[in-house]
Amino acid sequence: MAIIKHNSDFTWENVDVLKYKEEGTHFKAITRQLLFEGNRDLAVQLRYFEIAPGGHSTLERHNHVHVVMVIRGSGKALIGSEVVTLGRFDIINIPSHTWHQFQAVTREPLGFLCLVNTKRDKPERPGKEELDAIRSNAVAAQFIKI
């Protein structure tokens, strides 16, 4: 199919609205849609994540990098030691091995495209030591949801 039509309200024709992850309590009110699954010619995936007001993604890190673009609403994110405010069409580069978490902190959902390599490592969540290290940064300590 050459074209995938946007229905409205950030769903697309013949694209399933999926669970963010299969299980866990380390995230809240977030969905996933796979917009481009990657192939031999272009070995990346383009996903759309949407976090409902009050929700958040998992606090995690991994070797693979993310390029993110907000296309709906607004929110905030922890990227390493920084908490950034996100608005529509802002672009976020998440380097390798950098702790990150997205949160929908306003009355709007936070919807964003996320670009990754098709082949990638599994995310890692912080253990007690890593959490202590993250929390040694007051800004991060106040922000994160576990």
Which stretch, 18-26, 77-85, 125-133, 138-146, contacts a second copy (CB under 8 A)? 77-85
Quote the CA–CA distance of 48 and 68 in Å, as a whole number.
9
| Per-residue x/- track, 80-109, a second copy (CB under 8 A) | x-x-x-xxxxxxxxxxx-------------
Evaluate whether 8 touches 83 at the Cβ level (below 8 Å): no
Write down the least CB distance from residue 10 to a second copy, Å: 7
Residue 95 annotated as catalytic: no
Evaluate whether 102 touches 57 at the Cβ level (below 8 Å): yes
Active-site choice (114, 116, 134, 144): 114
Write down the least CB distance from residue 45 to a second copy, Å: 10
Quote the CA–CA distance of 95 and 111 in Å, as a whole number.
20
Site for a second copy, residues 2 to 61, rule: CB under 8 A = 2-6, 10, 12, 35-36, 39, 41-42, 44, 46
Evaluate whether 37 touches 45 at the Cβ level (below 8 Å): yes
Task: Give the amino acid at 142.
Answer: Q
Residues recognised as catalytic:
114
